[in-house]
Structure 1
């Protein structure tokens, strides 16, 4: 980590300037949020720091989403809001970062301490004199929260907040009263690097656990590695790949970690999605005699659409700060140190596993008439052939989140999704943040290949956060925005089995006219209705060039869903029918209803 020292700075700087210089040292160069009465002085200081940029979002919720997307690529995101109304607008996005282990620093400009002490009736309060209420709310969705009020310790507090957000990969809340923004801090503090080290594991416990894991690993005949979301969040991708290469065990991703592991590895077997995985993937994972799950976010996950669990009895779950092995739980073990210990002691000569073919993701190039209407299954297969090395691929909760799992990512590609929190509309803001981060990474030559930022978002989700397209245009960002237009909330329609429910409908927009409406001058829009339209688009070499913002409206049937989701629904119907017949009970979905949902009207094209 390169640290900017205090050369050129006066001996004394404000606490706000100190905060921004610290963020800059971590290469956090874009700050998200909106101005307000109680954070304006903070923003004045931000503008004085060379190399920092104020994104200027359209609302605080979108700003939180953007900071989240930025953090997933750069390790930390920062959002600045005003007291009360601003911070509450952002809290849903902050909660998503908390749920999904994303490092976020939420800085809140607060009323002066004198007003708080006197409990004055100021705007943006609840009118009851309680100035701590929003801080208390934030404490439930942050790993640490504080309000700067000690002039002697404020520098330490800033360092502590940044370090916690970076190392723990969770949101941190830091309130700064407006009258303390100019509090003096010795600029020489910037010459001392932030302490970004996690506490050490108990050496004896770690060594004993590693020994047990290796014993099980050596004797296993059908072991499997699964990389979960925290592989990227807690920066253990290199260790995970090394374990995969040295053992040659089959490795799978989860929906939350797609793109974390290089899918061109010979022993990469695809995405494990529990009961809606492909039969080939389920066969390998479910019949493993030892399962090593790295970077666990959760051990089981249930929704109305699928069930996610591990059936193997011999299983080690490596969480960010704990481990579950067999029937024992080992708390306070940090995964980075544990993985290093495991690799240090791994002896490949003791491995009994005999290499076997890993399921391969074969993406068909199906031939369809050019006038054929589009279906999800066909579209996602074709997308696999259009993706390029280094792409950052963002998928919204809904059909896109399921469809993307059947695609193959090229080398150095990254995926961003919000599979656990699942806040509809998240991805448009995340796309903004990721676009900023991608530009900074390309400029700093962090990666050898340039990044295209590609967003797949349903029309319903798009309408929730559409304003942030204007921020993209304002900064000259060039993402690809694929609006998957299925006339409303298709996944909800499908899962609720209500094809005609009006509450899943939305107002039809002329989506492609929004780009010029928001002031774009250099852009491309296309409406894709048929197979011919789609093939013309992806075979156009100029379309693949990342030189302008693009919006593509992909027209899909209202009840069309990716095949994995449809297969799961059909399985559920069969299970319900069988259970009802066995108990002579009432079957909620009749055979006629099942046939309706399996009709050609919604079945993906072959």
Structure 2
């Protein structure tokens, strides 16, 4: 039995545990089945995703049925991209469920499990905190799974459970977050095989992907890069995983979509140390990675692959730590790599082409970025353009290359900006979003203003869905959009005119002038820049990827 003096409510226990993980803002929309829970708090799914990518974990509260179903697309995106989000659903009280009452937000058939069943396949684990549950054990178990597995979890909380009392003294013991140890003999065998390959290799490269970020091995990855000085590359989803100011950084590898020098270096290596791979179509240049298993070592969160041998259940974090401790640098051969830099193409000079083009803009923005910036891009022209930039140190890149939900980036901006604000960090939060994508989730700008957040928003006005035009239907009506007065949005959402700024740029000269404006670059205000670009212009990487995607679609439709 618990001591009455230490008792707290189930809802309070849950929030205090989330607080231990650094969660300070909770995202969501009020609904009558979660209002009791919200009473204990006194914020959309995309926002929770963006918040988690900065803070390490986030929480999303929705109401039963209509609320949780609206969040499913966002939670599924977090699941596919390995982002830890705690999805808390306020559900009807247990008495109503047992009586199968025909409550609102239900299907009218008395089935109260149908919606939670929909979430099971996009949740690492789930629980229902009804009378039969051990509230404390279940909350701790589910939160640990969310953190360790880096994927969403689902907690159903009936309205009558919120204020049930539990033993608050359990909070004195932190939830154990350490990964389970690998069997030492197997781990040593894996490391021995990797070292043998590295010592024999004449030309080894490191390739970092998304799961090196999501599964928290960046410290080990950075140590490996710094200790070995091996040529290091990232995938699109791995952008920002390594310090791109290092001389060993060689750029972004995207299979056949890569720059020629990058493609030749990676595919010409006789050993690739591939850390945290997540080979989706857009992340691999339409599945054109040319890295054979015969010359690769794959580091994953729950298994290792050394050439043709696979080691299930072996965690990459501990393998990398042991590898770093045992590597003999005198036996490692290092081949210099090509230096990638933010050099503006001469054929795109201002005098020759006054219009702002992707070939010119992204290297120019690379010159403008600062250390520790948070850069958010929509999965459209922006994410493919960003591949042509070289980041300053400690830049965090947020995008949704695998799930690719249109409008994701605006919600993610709100979550990321809130997380940075909570950290009281001197970091600019910058969004690059197309006009079509912005129209899907523009209302999130209102939430950003409400919380006094100060991101810089670049709206790429190229008159429609350019990424779709490049894949299919270049002039099709379904890729058109109705034009908005984008620079009026901050006024529409009632931003303080003294703490907000809007701009329009139509030429390279105007863009240069804005980027050189020190007041604009501070990130002290919420700022929106409408960038006008030619309708059919697109980044080089998107042009190539779209062609491959179109061909793949045709093959699959045969």
- Residues 1:360 and 1:379: Cα distance change in structure 2 (over 3 Å): closer
Aligned-partner SS, 1:18: helix
Does 2:282 match 1:307? no
Q: Any conservation in 2 of the 1:151–1:183 contact (CA below 8 Å)?
A: no
Number of residues paired by the alignment?
A: 545
TM-score normalized by the length of structure 2: 0.94
Does 2:412 match 1:430? yes
Show the counterpart of 1:232.
213
Show the counterpart of 1:39.
34
Q: Any conservation in 2 of the 1:369–1:532 contact (CA below 8 Å)?
A: no
Following superposition, the deviation at residue 336 of structure 1 comes to 1.3
Following superposition, the deviation at residue 274 of structure 1 comes to 1.2
Show the counterpart of 1:489.
465
Q: Distance in 1 between matches of 2:118 and 2:353?
A: 54
Does 2:77 match 1:102? no
Following superposition, the deviation at residue 499 of structure 1 comes to 2.2
- Residues 1:340 and 1:556: Cα distance change in structure 2 (over 3 Å): same
Show the counterpart of 1:557.
534
User: 1:270-329 deviations in whole A, cap 9, x for unaligned?
Assistant: 11111100000000001110011011223x636997334233431111111111221222
Show the counterpart of 1:29.
24
Following superposition, the deviation at residue 151 of structure 1 comes to 6.2
Does 2:371 match 1:395? no
Does 2:520 match 1:543? yes
Q: Distance in 2 between matches of 1:302 and 1:525?
A: 33
Show the counterpart of 1:597.
none
Show the counterpart of 2:556.
none
Does 2:500 match 1:523? yes
Q: Any conservation in 1 of the 2:235–2:283 contact (CA below 8 Å)?
A: no
- Residues 1:233 and 1:303: Cα distance change in structure 2 (over 3 Å): closer
Following superposition, the deviation at residue 207 of structure 1 comes to 1.0
Following superposition, the deviation at residue 231 of structure 1 comes to 1.1
Show the counterpart of 2:364.
382
Aligned with residue 56 of structure 2, among 75, 90, 112: 75
Does 2:258 match 1:293? no
Aligned with residue 454 of structure 1, among 430, 435, 439: 430
Aligned-partner SS, 2:39: helix
Q: Distance in 1 between matches of 2:546 and 2:82?
A: 30
Structure 1 alignment gaps of length 5 or more: 1-8, 48-54, 56-62, 444-449, 577-606
User: 1:139-158 deviations in whole A, cap 9, x for unaligned?
Assistant: 01011011112466101111
- Residues 1:545 and 1:475: Cα distance change in structure 2 (over 3 Å): same
TM-score normalized by the length of structure 1: 0.87
Q: Any conservation in 2 of the 1:296–1:320 contact (CA below 8 Å)?
A: no
Aligned-partner SS, 2:510: helix
Q: Distance in 1 between matches of 2:103 and 2:384?
A: 47
Aligned with residue 321 of structure 1, among 302, 305, 319: 302
Q: Distance in 2 between matches of 1:144 and 1:306?
A: 31
Range with bigger deviation, 78-87 or 301-310: 301-310
Does 2:250 match 1:274? no
Q: Distance in 2 between matches of 1:248 and 1:95?
A: 37
Q: Any conservation in 2 of the 1:373–1:531 contact (CA below 8 Å)?
A: yes
Aligned-partner SS, 2:370: coil
Structure 2 alignment gaps of length 5 or more: 553-558
Q: Any conservation in 2 of the 1:396–1:458 contact (CA below 8 Å)?
A: yes
Aligned with residue 361 of structure 1, among 328, 335, 341: 341
Does 2:190 match 1:205? no
Q: Distance in 1 between matches of 2:49 and 2:255?
A: 26
Following superposition, the deviation at residue 27 of structure 1 comes to 1.6
- Residues 1:90 and 1:568: Cα distance change in structure 2 (over 3 Å): closer
**Runs (4+) of structure 1 moved beyond 4 Å?**
302-305, 567-573
Following superposition, the deviation at residue 254 of structure 1 comes to 0.6
User: 1:377-396 deviations in whole A, cap 9, x for unaligned?
Assistant: 11112101110111000110
Q: Distance in 2 between matches of 1:568 and 1:160?
A: 42
Following superposition, the deviation at residue 365 of structure 1 comes to 6.8
Aligned with residue 500 of structure 1, among 475, 480, 491: 475
Following superposition, the deviation at residue 571 of structure 1 comes to 8.5
Q: Any conservation in 1 of the 2:8–2:165 contact (CA below 8 Å)?
A: yes
Q: Any conservation in 1 of the 2:267–2:290 contact (CA below 8 Å)?
A: yes
Aligned with residue 534 of structure 1, among 497, 501, 511: 511
- Residues 1:303 and 1:194: Cα distance change in structure 2 (over 3 Å): closer
Aligned-partner SS, 2:365: helix
- Residues 1:438 and 1:564: Cα distance change in structure 2 (over 3 Å): same
Aligned-partner SS, 1:389: coil
Following superposition, the deviation at residue 171 of structure 1 comes to 0.2
Aligned-partner SS, 2:431: strand
Aligned with residue 372 of structure 1, among 354, 375, 398: 354
Q: Distance in 1 between matches of 2:385 and 2:133?
A: 54
Following superposition, the deviation at residue 530 of structure 1 comes to 1.2
Following superposition, the deviation at residue 135 of structure 1 comes to 0.8
Aligned-partner SS, 1:158: helix
Within 5 Å, which residues of 2 pair with 1:52-131?
55=43, 63-131=44-112
Q: Any conservation in 2 of the 1:201–1:334 contact (CA below 8 Å)?
A: yes
Aligned-partner SS, 2:430: strand
Q: Distance in 1 between matches of 2:549 and 2:101?
A: 58
User: 1:229-277 deviations in whole A, cap 9, x for unaligned?
Assistant: 0111111111111111222210101100111111011101011111100
User: 1:460-481 deviations in whole A, cap 9, x for unaligned?
Assistant: 1100001000000001100011
Following superposition, the deviation at residue 364 of structure 1 comes to 2.3
Following superposition, the deviation at residue 99 of structure 1 comes to 0.3
Q: Distance in 1 between matches of 2:283 and 2:240?
A: 23
